[in-house]
């Protein structure tokens, strides 16, 4: 992890250590997840699925993160890489290092991010173009309570 990313994590962990600033259901690992999402959005991967070109940050997180957001956004925007593959490797390394900090129970969001990033890494490794994702609900899986 670079010193810039360490600064981001230190800033937000210090900020959210004040329980008054935490939102409901806050977990320390949320910080790593949302920073990962910010990195992902900034990197704008061409092989991201069409429906996953960006990842929304939680409204609760955005409301709670205070003025530090602008500083952190500018730090992220100062990161420079020559290729998307370098960006991808950086993000994979970031997620791997972040996962080491937490127990399995705290890794839900980071695991989701990691699964998505690993799927995208496979597309880069095998030079697979993204395909349009179509969501369909089968009649068998419909909720019987909804008409």
pLDDT in tens, 29-70: 999 999 999 999 999 888 887 778 888 888 899 899 888 899
Q: Could you tell me the sign of the dihedral formed by the alpha carbons of 7, 12, 18, 21, in that order?
A: positive
How many degrees, rounded to 5, is the angle at CA 107 between CA 136 and CA 131? 30
Cα–Cα distance for residue pair 80/90, rounded to 1 Å: 11
Every domain of the chain and the residues it spans:
3-141
Q: Which residues of the chain have pLDDT under 70?
A: 131-147
Name the pTM for this structure. 0.83
Cα–Cα distance for residue pair 76/108, rounded to 1 Å: 23
């Amino acid at each position: 992890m670079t010193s810039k990313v360490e600064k981001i994590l230190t800033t937000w962990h210090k900020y959210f250590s004040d329980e008054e600033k935490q939102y409901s259901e806050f977990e320390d690992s949320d910080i790593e997840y949302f920073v990962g999402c910010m990195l992902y959005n900034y990197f704008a991967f061409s092989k991201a699925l069409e429906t996953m070109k960006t990842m929304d940050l939680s409204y609760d997180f955005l409301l709670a993160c205070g003025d530090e957001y602008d500083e952190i956004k500018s730090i992220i925007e100062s990161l420079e890489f020559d290729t998307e593959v370098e960006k991808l490797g950086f993000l994979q390394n970031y997620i791997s290092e972040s996962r080491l900090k937490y127990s399995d129970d705290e890794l839900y969001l980071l695991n989701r991010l990691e699964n998505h990033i690993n799927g995208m890494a496979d597309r880069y490794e095998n030079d697979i173009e993204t395909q349009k994702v179509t969501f369909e609900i089968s009649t068998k899986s419909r909720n019987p309570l909804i008409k």
